[in-house]
């Protein structure tokens, strides 16, 4: 594989990695919100805390997973990974 094709392969792979990191950031945010909801609901259940709306944090976590941002991040990560894989397959075929 030529040097310019290797650079292009590295760039497409880096783009896919960046897209996955963005997806991970969104999933991590939802995970943190869900953990907060879990702690709040458990505290309520065992009588250690009292909240007017113990399910508010759970709804916030659900909204994160249902947001267009996460759908977009999934789609972008999938597209960029497919692009990187297709580029690699094309480069390998050209090298034969």
pLDDT digits (tens, 9 = 90+) for 10-54: 899 999 999 999 999 999 999 999 998 899 889 988 988 887 887
Q: Do 61 and 30 contact (CB within 8 A), yes or no? A: yes
Alpha-carbon distance values, 56 to 18, 38, 61 (Å):
31, 11, 9
Instruction: Please give the model's pTM, rounded to 2 decimal places.
Output: 0.80
Q: Name which of 17, 22, 11 is nearest 71 in CA terms.
A: 22
In this predicted structure, what is the pLDDT of residue 12?
Answer: 93
The mean pLDDT of 47-70, rounded to a whole number, is 86
């Amino acid at each position: 594989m030529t040097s310019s094709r290797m650079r292009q392969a590295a760039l497409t792979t880096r783009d896919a990695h960046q897209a996955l990191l963005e997806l991970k950031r969104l999933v991590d945010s939802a995970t943190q919100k869900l953990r907060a909801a879990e702690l709040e609901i458990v505290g309520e259940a065992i009588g250690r805390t009292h909240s007017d709306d113990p399910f508010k944090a759970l709804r916030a976590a659900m909204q994160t997973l249902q947001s267009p941002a996460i759908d977009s991040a999934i789609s972008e990560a999938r597209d960029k990974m497919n692009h990187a894989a297709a580029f690699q397959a094309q480069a390998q075929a050209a090298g034969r």
